[in-house]
């Protein structure tokens, strides 16, 4: 029997998503067939690979390394740049049936300004911009923007000045007290916060005796980090009034429910779909079943409910 998927709709501010599940940036192919039914069953939105003004070739050497229940990556924002993205990628991605969230890597003020000004011309094709102030795998910019409240606020203000549509800021765990960064991003005009990007880690190849990655450190993701991300979601959603999107290690319906009970309005999944492509449709089905068994009329009723009894 076909599953009735109504009822899992959520709102991230003004952005309506037919499901709370979002495909995390940098993990999903840009081929148009991956952005439409049937592949997108269970998916509410999908984030593009990080976009920069000019093409980037990414990092040399080994880029992915499995860890127990996790994955270290050092991709380095490889992407074809704004011109090709606008000409080839965006028209085909936006012809699909999920909201397109364009992940914009924060570079210099001038570069990011140009990218966002160009995206503004195509605002009708986008659900939101996800401003990446949290990439651990590049020098200059990247995570440095998100690592303290002053820099984060500056980045958001630059973005806000060039993009009037929904603006999500993707935070990094590498930032001291994340609630301070979160509040600064809210005050500077972010519409929602994505919590969070990868955790800085490392691997050493014991055969060669040297670090695996050319940049030594790399970003850890996947089920291994889930409890860490959940704690951040709880903290951030307690600190701000804007919606929070949970991200990091989600692999089961229980993880989605936990993130939402902790205060997330929606949840991103990246690494786990490398393991199991059916996760979106399967998790959404489990999610709907939970709502029905527990007697919730809408997914929105779940958001932050875990806090009411505790905080």
Partner 1 sequence: MCTSGPDPTGLDQDVVLASRFSLGEKLFILTLETREMFSRVQPGQFVLLRTAAGLDPLLGRPFAICGQEGNRIEIIVAVAGRGTRLLADSALGVRLSLRGPLGNGFPESTKSRTHCLAGAVGIAPFLLARQQNGESEIHLGVPGQDWEPLVNWVSERIHGLHVYSEDGKLGNRGNPLLCLDGLDPRSDVVWACGPTGMLKAVSAVCGKRQIAAWVSLETRMACGMGGCHGCVVQTVDGPKKTCTDGPVFHSQEVLWNAS
Residue 65: name its binding partner from ligand FMN, partner 1, none (Cβ under 5 to 8 Å by kind).
partner 1
Q: Does 258 bind ligand FMN (CB under 6 A)?
A: no
Rounded Cα gap, residues 157 and 225, in angstroms: 30
Question: Which listed residue (75, 102, 169, 291) binds ligand FMN by CB under 6 A?
Answer: 75
Euclidean distance between CA atoms 231 and 221, whole angstroms: 15
- Between helices 149-162 and 109-120, what is the axis angle to 10°? 40
Q: Pick from partner 1, ligand FMN, none: which does 109 bind, CB < 5 to 8 A by kind?
A: none
Quick one: which segment of 22-30, 89-97, 173-181, 208-216 binds ligand FMN (CB under 6 A)? 22-30
Residue 116 CB, nearest distance to partner 1 (Å)? 23
Q: How far lies 298's CA from each of 7, 156, 292, in Å?
A: 6, 32, 9
Out of ligand FMN, partner 1, none, what residue 282 binds, judged by CB under 5 to 8 A for its kind, is: partner 1
112: contact with ligand FMN by CB under 6 A = no
In the complex, the smallest distance separating the C-beta of residue 155 from partner 1, rounded to whole angstroms, is: 24
d(CA 25, CA 197): 9
Selected binder of ligand FMN within 8, 40, 271, 281 (CB under 6 A): 271
Phi-psi map region of 169: left, alpha, beta (phi>0 left; psi -120 to 50 alpha): beta
- By CB under 6 A, residue 197 contacts ligand FMN: yes
Of 47, 135, 175, 247, the catalytic one is 135
Site for partner 1, rule CB under 8 A: 26-31, 34, 37-41, 49, 57-58, 60-66, 68-71, 73, 75, 78, 214, 222-223, 251-252, 271, 273-278, 281-282, 285
Our answer to whether residue 135 is catalytic in this structure is yes
Instruction: Identify what 58 binds: ligand FMN, partner 1, none; CB under 5 to 8 Å per kind.
Output: partner 1
Of 186 and 284, nearer to partner 1 (C-beta) is: 284
Q: What does 265 bind: ligand FMN, partner 1, none (CB cut-off 5 to 8 Å by kind)?
A: none
Site for ligand FMN in 220-249 (CB under 6 A): 221-222, 225, 247-249
Active site members? 135
């Amino acid at each position: 029997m076909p599953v009735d998927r109504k009822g899992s709709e959520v709102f991230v501010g003004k952005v309506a998503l037919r499901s709370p599940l979002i495909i995390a940036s940098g993990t999903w192919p840009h081929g148009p067939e991956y952005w439409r039914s049937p592949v997108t069953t269970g998916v509410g939105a999908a984030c593009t690979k990080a976009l920069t003004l000019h093409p980037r070739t990414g990092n040399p050497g080994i880029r992915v390394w499995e860890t127990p229940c996790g994955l270290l990556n050092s991709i380095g924002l490889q992407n074809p740049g704004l011109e090709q993205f606008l000409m080839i990628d965006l028209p085909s991605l936006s012809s699909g049936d999920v909201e397109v969230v364009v992940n914009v890597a924060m570079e210099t003020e001038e570069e990011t300004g140009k990218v966002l000004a160009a995206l503004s011309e195509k605002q009708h094709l986008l659900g939101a911009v996800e401003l990446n102030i949290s990439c651990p795998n590049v020098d200059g910019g990247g995570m440095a923007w998100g690592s303290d409240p002053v820099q984060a606020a500056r980045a958001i203000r630059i973005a806000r000045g060039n993009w009037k549509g929904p603006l999500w800021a993707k935070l990094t765990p590498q930032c001291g007290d994340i609630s301070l960064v979160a509040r600064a991003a809210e005050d500077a005009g972010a519409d929602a916060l994505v919590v969070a990007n990868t955790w800085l880690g490392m691997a050493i190849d014991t055969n060669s005796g040297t670090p695996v990655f050319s940049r030594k450190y790399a970003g850890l993701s996947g089920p291994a980090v889930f409890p860490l991300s959940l704690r951040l979601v709880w903290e951030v959603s307690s600190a701000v009034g804007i919606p929070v999107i949970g991200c990091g290690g989600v692999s089961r319906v229980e993880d989605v429910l936990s993130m939402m009970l902790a205060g997330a309005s929606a949840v991103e999944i990246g690494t786990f779909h490398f393991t199991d492509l059916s996760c979106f449709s399967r998790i959404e089905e489990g999610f709907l079943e939970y709502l029905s068994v527990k007697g919730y009329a809408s997914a929105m009723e779940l958001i932050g409910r875990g806090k009411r009894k505790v905080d």
